[in-house]
Structure 1
Amino acid sequence: MTTLPLRNNEGFLEDADSWTPEVAEEIAAEDSIQLNENHWEIIDFLREFYKQHEMSPPSNRLFVKAVKEAFGDDKGNSIYLMQLFPGTPAKTACRIAGLPRPTNCL
């Protein structure tokens, strides 16, 4: 078990630079998610998105759109992303990826 870095009351890391793949595994396990290659593809994409834009995708709609542009229709749709990251996919995926909470996700 990894010692998790400091997080806010919603479970998002206070410092995105404290994230590691092991931290992602621990956070995902809290939601009963066992990460596989499909999850990691999206997590890696989100972390790169954050590096380029200095922000998480601001809404679920924009998250789906960005994934669609990067990976095509099969992966860039709400159903696929909800299967990987239940609840609000952008919020769940960003939390696991160690990124800030999307600004427009409830």
Structure 2
Amino acid sequence: MPTVTYAGTPVPVNDEGFFTDPDRWNERMAPEIAREAGIETLTEEHWQVIKHVRHEYAEKGSGPTVRALGKTSGVGVKELYELFPKGPAKLAAKIAGIPKPRGCI
């Protein structure tokens, strides 16, 4: 299993770069993960989605789909695609340090 270092902390990830242990994530890691994905700055809206994704994972054991994220995060689907252009549910999950949501390719 590969290991990457974010904010000075080595963390195990799967072959796609998703955390295998979400408890190893902390907020200092998110900007580094986002930059790797081409997002230079995390705005308040990004953080709103990231925190919501982590909450959903803690509650349900999986991150939300794009459709569910658009309905429950307080950020509409169109804006989600502007914030996370390479696939909102998948990219938000990666930045939030949770496994890839079910149904994401």
| Correspondences of 1:71-86 after superposition (within 5 Å) | 71=74, 75=75, 77-86=76-85
- Runs (4+) of structure 1 exceeding 2 A deviation are 59-67
SS of structure 2 residue aligned to 1:5 = strand
Gaps of 5+ in 1: none
- TM (norm. structure 1) is 0.83
Rounded Cα–Cα distance in structure 2 between residues aligned with 1:49 and 1:87 = 20
Q: 2:63 maps to what in 1?
A: 56
Structure 2 residue identity aligned to 1:64: G
User: Alpha-carbon deviation of 1:54?
Assistant: 1.9
Structure 1 vs Structure 2 CA RMSD: 1.5
- Once the two structures are superposed, residues 47-89 of structure 1 have per-residue CA deviations (whole angstroms, 9 ceiling, x without a partner) of 11111112211x322332332xxx2xxx2x2210011111110
Rounded Cα–Cα distance in structure 1 between residues aligned with 2:44 and 2:50 = 10
| Correspondences of 1:1-80 after superposition (within 5 Å) | 2-3=7-8, 4-33=10-39, 34-57=41-64, 59-67=65-73, 71=74, 75=75, 77-80=76-79
SS of structure 1 residue aligned to 2:71 = helix
Q: Relative to total residues, which structure has the larger strand share, 1 or 2? A: 2
- Report how many aligned residue pairs link the two structures: 98
| Residues 60 and 105, structure 1, Cα contact 8 Å, conserved in 2 | no
Deviates more, 1:14-23 or 1:4-13: 4-13
- TM (norm. structure 2) is 0.83
Query: Structure with the greater relative contact order (CA < 8 A, sep ≥ 6): 1 or 2?
Result: 1
Q: Percent identity?
A: 38
